[in-house]
Amino acid sequence: MLYPQRLTQFTKEHTEAFAAILCGVLLFFGWFALHLNFLGWALLLLPAAYVIGGYESAREGLTTLFKEKELDVDLLMIVAALGAAILGLWQREYHLILDGGILILIFAISGALEGYAMQRTERSIRSLMSLTQDTARVLRSGGEEIISISQLKVGDEIVVKPGELIPTDAMIVSGLSTLNQAAITGESVPIEKTVGEEVFAGTLNGYGALKLKVHQPPESSLLQRVIRLVEQAQTEAPPSQQFVERFERRYALVIVVAGLLLAILPRFVLNWDWETTIYRALTFLVVASPCALMAAIMPTLLSGIAHGARQGILFKNGAQLEMIAKVRAIAFDKTGTLTTGQVQVFQVIPTRGYTEADVLKVAASVESSSEHPIGEAIVQAAQDLNWSRAVEVRAIPGQGILGINGHQEVIVGKADFVQQYVTHLPSELKDAADLREQEGKTVVWVAQQEQVLGVIVIADQIRAEAVRAIAHLKKLGVEQIVMLTGDNKRTAHSVAQAVGIERVYAELLPEDKLDVIRRLQKEYQTVAMVGDGINDAPALAQASVGIAMGKIGSDVALETADIILMADRLEKIEAAMRLGKRAQAIVKQNITVALGFIVLLLVGNFVGGINLPLGVIGHEGSTVLVTLSGLRLLRK
């Protein structure tokens, strides 16, 4: 049953693409039949291409006409194509039917691309929904009962065991644990939570069992709000798109009205005969159709997309290739974007008489029994050293870890915890530790047999290319660069200062990031957002251009973003902007050429008296010219 369902879904999502491909195939065989003078086959294949390729545009055009009482380019395309077909049959110049089919094919391809963009929204929402729990373990009548999330009520008490996802936003009633909140806040290190603190749906519980009390309806949970925000932001059309839609409808209205007038007035004003009048009016519809204008844009943008893909920059649609050239402000997520997203040993500071290797070996002996990310980072740093695993290891949640190594007690953890087992903490080491903590880093103290050996500084490493990438973006003309993070202010400002960012927003939830993007858009209009996590999804969707890190990015971030950096290389943002500026320049050149040809053909139609074949040659010639111009971006 699963395979037919997937096949049905695949077919549904790609109907427009299939129609465009089939239209192109029928046009090719129709042209071939005309070339071989098989008129019967040509008159069978070409109308079929019209129906298959133009059905969706005709449906949308007629729907807009009858429901909204407006004309759009879809209907204009159908009128122009049918006009070419009628002229072809009337004058027995059957190649004109092929010209109309080419016009339909261009719009069919455009419709398929628009359909793909809409499908992205649905996939984003499905990816987010995969993080939600379907059931919860509720305490009722002295026992546990598994019920649907939708049945939860405010005041219900639920139990979450180690390793399970939190089913809904709630307050901790009893228990202590660490929670991986990277999906919501972007924090790289699991956060310790205890009685009285709030936990969020979709976050992963750590080592401890928790009893939670539901304090708000499940549909109001933070994750559900993220889902709604992504859906809303992706379906809101930006001002530029609204302008294009209004322009298309006005253009279509002007051309259709002008075509109707030209089919009547010259007969009485210029004393033309009816055959000449209608001939010139239909020629007008053909030469005034927006084929060249469409070709002035799409081939250029598609070529730019291909060029970007070769550089590891994946543009999901051509509009964003053009939009990124206009970016005036960029917002960066911190964890996983400006940093690697994985905690590592940043520095080892030993006390006198000990080496960095001594400190790492002793710490690794007990941390090798821990599953905490900090412990894993220490073990990773000590992997090339010769050390033995400690025994009788005990972890004290939120404090540290103890064990016996070579008949000596080893203590690793926070300063207050270690101080309970040693005579004193060396003042010079304490000063160094305080300095690192002020920078937003985590400090782990290491002691053995009542003697402090040193401290290990843990940090989320800044990407090597981050400083250079930020500097180059400023030189490129980006007016404002900000950092958004769910992490604490101290860590946020430390990272921002290191990479050269002055404006910082810290301790943000996903909806807070969305609000910042909206404020930036009011100030700078075109804003890009660079992120990698689920918590970045609403901001990525709202931003004029959403940019996701390809390797470590969450599924939701990758689906929501407009551009993906396949190798997680921040310097590719500058390359994408330069490519966008070049594409924008070529598009402007092509539009100028296309409009110039349309004006010349229109003047020639009524002043120079050009015939329809010459008009079609000029029309198609301008289309080919601007298409070839757009292909320049394929060059390295």
CA distance 434 to 491: 13
Q: 417: which 2 tokens?
A: 């915890």
CA distance 187 to 348: 23
Q: Which of 124, 206, 203, 205 lies closest to 168, judged by CA?
A: 203
Region of 135 on the Ramachandran plot (φ > 0 left; ψ -120 to 50 alpha; else beta): beta
Q: 486: which 2 tokens?
A: 């769910």
Question: How many Cβ atoms are within 10 Å of 235's Cβ, its own excluded?
Answer: 10
At 608, phi and psi to the nearest 5?
-85, -15
CA distance 148 to 144: 13
Q: Tokens 């974007």, residue?
A: 337
User: Catalytic pick from 74, 99, 169, 333?
Assistant: 333
CA distance 512 to 516: 6
Is 333 among the catalytic positions?
A: yes
User: Which three-class secondary structure string do you get for 179-204?
Assistant: EECCCCCCCCCCEEECCCCEECCCCE
- In a 3-state reduction of DSSP, which class is residue 479? coil
CA distance 294 to 251: 13
Helix (H) or strand (E) holding 293: helix 291-310
Q: Which of 371, 340, 314 lies closest to 576, judged by CA?
A: 314
Contact between 97 and 83 (Cβ < 8 Å): no
Q: Which of 259, 291, 256 lies closest to 108, judged by CA?
A: 291
- 182-206 in b/e burial notation, b at 16+ Cβ within 10 A? bbbbbbbbbbebeeeeebbbbbbbb
Q: DSSP states of 492-510 as a string?
A: HHHHHHHHT--EEE-S--H
- Find all residues with CB under 8 Å of 176, minimum gap 6, and list them: 192, 193, 194, 195, 208, 397, 398
Q: Indicate which residues carry an active-site annotation.
A: 333
